[in-house]
Amino acid sequence: MSGRPFFWQDPGGKMQQGNTRGDAGTCEGVDLASLARREGTPLYVYSAAAIRGRLRALQAALAGLDAGVCYAVKANSNGAVLRLMAEEGAGADIVSGGELWRSLRAGIPAGRIVFSGVGKSAAEIVQALEAGVARFNIESRAELELLEAIASARGQVAHAAVRINPDVDALTHAKISTGKSENKFGVSIAEARAWFAQADRWPSVRLDGLHMHIGSQILSLEPVRQALQRMAGFWRELEAAGHAIASIDVGGGLGVRYREGERPIEADAYVAEIRQALDGFRGRILLEPGRYLVAEAGLLLSRVLLEKEGEARRFLVLDAAMNDLLRPSLYDAWHDLVPLGDAAERPPVAYDVVGPVCETGDTFATGRTMPRCEAGDLVAILGAGAYGASMASTYNSRPLAAEVLVDGARYAVVRRRQTLDEMIAGEPSAATWQTP
């Protein structure tokens, strides 16, 4: 089991494996065992170099285009990660007022922020108009009319893109597919066509953009190609009808390597499809990667609590749980599990790897063959940089895990471990009763 990967990164953006030999488990230049002793477990660890490498490779592939990368904040909304994105010139794709606040606080200019999401509240729309976000991605007629009403009352003109649903199967998990006709996201091309034809009905909304996003963890270019072709066909139709399109947002969804045999789409190949489909477009092109930039740059360190020999299964119980990393429970998602230190050289055993939460769904892996582990051993759960900490909860009254960012031979705690007092800080006793 020596040499198993932590993350993949090189100056060209390709991720290469980290070091797991013997007791030398490291992230960049930081020893993971020492990090766990100092900061405790469960512990999220992110590599700044890996994030920069993936982002810079995508930006390099876009050279020569009027294009921008708007990082999908929902993937990992830690302030340090957002500040890193801001420093590298990325914008933000947000889906809530909270993500807008985080992005602005991290230094991402409002002019590089696009507001997506199927259910924006009136208060969030006001917040975004006040901040001056670059564009709203509109997903329903009701939302379009709400944006018109609010912008008109404020004496503003909101820039907006229609999120079309191209009815393309992203060939991914059903719970992260967003571009098929039965999904809740976006509108049909027919409905979008009607909106543009009636654009004068919404004078306070400048409808001059197109947007799509067909799903997450896409590992094949074919659905991307199909969706881009449908988007491009609609753009050309609109321009021929006299509707100027200033922005085309091609969404995100690029997949990453979670397990053996999975290969991310290379940045150059992806951008080549965009160049071909949108050849001749003179407006701005936006991309919304999230997972692609941060997933492989992160891992979750956990310590073994015990082994349990059941009648039919052998269990390995970790101190991390589904409240820390929900993806395996929610999506049946695979994450590589790498024992560190001496455990890496022990004979293999088939485990059900579980956490201590009182749910059968609190399972990271079933029948996973890995080196035999003992209480106190460290296990790295790989590919945890996206939809890990951002989806965490305090279920079972388990405080949120700490997060650290590694940069070379140094690290910084970018979210301290939540204390019990902090966990209940918003729960006053029922000492003061009120009536509505």
As annotated, the active-site residues are 358
Instruction: Give yes or no for a contact between 182 and 167, defined as CB atoms under 8 angstroms apart.
Output: no
If DSSP codes are grouped into helix, strand and coil, which group holds residue 302?
strand
For residue 162, give both structure tokens. Answer: 């229609």
Residue 2: CB partners within 8 Å, gap ≥ 6? 20, 21, 22, 344, 345
Rounded Cα distance, 184 and 139, in Å = 9
- Short-list 105, 43, 97, 54, CA closest to 79: 105
- Short-list 117, 126, 120, CA closest to 150: 126
Helix 79-87 with 48-61: angle, nearest 10 deg: 40
If phi > 0 it is left, if psi is from -120 to 50 it is alpha, else beta; for residue 413 that is: beta
Instruction: Tell me the backbone φ, ψ of residue 299, rounded to 5 degrees.
Output: -140, 160
Burial of 396 (0-12, 13-18, 19+ CB in 10 A): middle
Residue type, 244: A
Instruction: Give yes or no for a contact between 222 and 229, defined as CB atoms under 8 angstroms apart.
Output: no
- Short-list 247, 212, 243, 244, CA closest to 230: 212
Place of tokens 């993350």: 7
Rounded Cα distance, 45 and 54, in Å = 17
